[in-house]
Chain A
Amino acid sequence: MAELEVEIVAADHFVWSGAATMVKGRTTDGEIGILPGHSPVLAVLAEGELAIEPVSGSRISVQVDGGFFSVDSNRVVIVADNAKVADSASAGTR
């Protein structure tokens, strides 16, 4: 099964990257879930929590306060003004 290649960057540092099976985020319109094979999207993120289901390990939640994210050919780039990984993030960090 295809995987998503996820990358989270904040303004002055790199936050997280890794492979995931699902990303769930909150846009200004409402929640959006990204699965592998999603069509390209450029969306504005609202303040709140992002959930990432990594290929291995448990679910990661990231607190962001605004930003945007782009999805194209299974590559998800989340650009946040400020991002904080809430817990169990060590699995995928590099």
Chain B
Amino acid sequence: MGAQLRVYRQKINSTKSMGKLFKAMELIATSRISKARSRVAASLPYANAITRAVSAVASQTEIDHPLTTEPEQVRRAAVLIMSSDRGLAGAYSTSVIKQAEQLHELLRSEGKEVKAYLVGNKAEQYYQFRDRPFERSWLGNTDAPVFETAREIGATLLEDFATAYEENGVDEIHIVYTRFQSMVVQEPTVIRLLPLEVVDEEADAGSELLPLYEFEPETEQVLDALLPRYIESRIFAAMLQAAASELAARQKAMKSASDNADDLVDKYTRLSNTARQAEITQELSEIVAGADSLNAS
């Protein structure tokens, strides 16, 4: 067997085995997406109930709660970046980190210091490689987040939010995550988590009137209990969306990778066929030439 032919055969074999791997990862991602999406759907009732309660509270009382009052001067902002733990998901982590960098620039240009909180291995690697400081990172389970992580993140952020600027606290909190729009579109998104934005809206005929609640035990205590839950549920919702996006991105990346592998196998098969044919032709012409020279003598 000729050297060239052997090289092609090796390439075909290695491409085939990689193709199998990509295919398997694609299938795994596909099977997990539906689960991730149903988890997004499952978390909706909770998020809706909380949002409704928060907006009811916000619309009827003059809220004077540390979580909703805008600080006079924002000097330090926290940015929570949700990336993935593993690669092989195309531009998923890159694009969310890029979005975070833009936010970073924006906040800096407004004269704010930025403290980074990271979710996922990829963001941590990005920061470590560039020797940039970050406050805390949470690793593991980015493709199947659990509520405990969201609670932990919420607690950490709230604690820093409650701390004064002078003691290394933050004045506002942003989240950068990837919003799952559809199987093909996932969009890096920035939301401001804290302070909450209380939006004044003109009531029209279609909008539902929010009930006038009594509070049990006290307005203050209800808010104290309500707002952290609201934050947690927002963080958890973002994590679930990010997980669904990660899986969709991975599925897409792996699909094109396995398609490319198939194309490469086709190409190398053709090349190896050509090489084999050339070898045969050469051998034939050598035999014919040899026979000719024997006849001639």
Question: Which residues 188-245 of B sit at the A interface, judged by CB distance below 8 A?
Answer: 211-217, 221-222, 225-226, 229, 232-233, 236
Q: A44 vs B50: C-alpha distance in the bound complex, in angstroms?
A: 12
Is B53 an interface residue when CB atoms closer than 8 A count as contact? yes
* Min C-beta distance of B214 to chain A, whole Å: 5
Is B276 an interface residue when CB atoms closer than 8 A count as contact? no
Is B2 an interface residue when CB atoms closer than 8 A count as contact? no
Say which size band chain A's interface belongs to.
Answer: 20 to 34
Q: A12-B43, A70-B56, A79-B53 are in contact. Are A40 and B211 (CB under 8 A)?
A: yes
Is A55 an interface residue when CB atoms closer than 8 A count as contact? no
Kindly list chain B residues whose C-beta atoms are within 8 Å of the C-beta of A43: 215-217, 222
Q: A62 vs B146: C-alpha distance in the bound complex, in angstroms?
A: 22
Total A-B residue contacts, Cβ distance less than 8 Å: 82
Q: A72 vs B53: C-alpha distance in the bound complex, in angstroms?
A: 11
Q: A9 vs B147: C-alpha distance in the bound complex, in angstroms?
A: 14
Whether B214 lies near A40 (C-beta < 8 A) is yes
Q: A13 vs B226: C-alpha distance in the bound complex, in angstroms?
A: 18
Is A11 an interface residue when CB atoms closer than 8 A count as contact? yes
Question: Which residues 22-52 of B sit at the A interface, judged by CB distance below 8 A?
Answer: 39, 42-43, 45-46, 49-50, 52
Q: A66 vs B215: C-alpha distance in the bound complex, in angstroms?
A: 16
Q: A70-B56, A79-B50 are in contact. Are A42 and B216 (CB under 8 A)?
A: yes
* Min C-beta distance of B236 to chain A, whole Å: 7
Interface size on B, residues (CB 8 A): 28
Whether A27 lies near B53 (C-beta < 8 A) is no
User: Which of A32, A40, A41, A79 contacts B46 (CB under 8 A)?
Assistant: A79
Q: A32 vs B217: C-alpha distance in the bound complex, in angstroms?
A: 11
Is B77 an interface residue when CB atoms closer than 8 A count as contact? no
Whether B42 lies near A14 (C-beta < 8 A) is yes
Q: A32 vs B236: C-alpha distance in the bound complex, in angstroms?
A: 30
CB closest residue in chain B, given A67: B229
Is B57 an interface residue when CB atoms closer than 8 A count as contact? yes
Kindly list chain B residues whose C-beta atoms are within 8 Å of the C-beta of A66: 225
Is A73 an interface residue when CB atoms closer than 8 A count as contact? yes
Question: Which residues 21-51 of A sit at the B interface, judged by CB distance below 8 A?
Answer: 27-29, 32, 39-44
Whether A11 lies near B214 (C-beta < 8 A) is no
Kindly list chain A residues whose C-beta atoms are within 8 Å of the C-beta of B221: 28, 44
Point out residues on B near A: beta carbons under 8 Å: 39, 42-43, 45-46, 49-50, 52-53, 56-57, 146-147, 211-217, 221-222, 225-226, 229, 232-233, 236
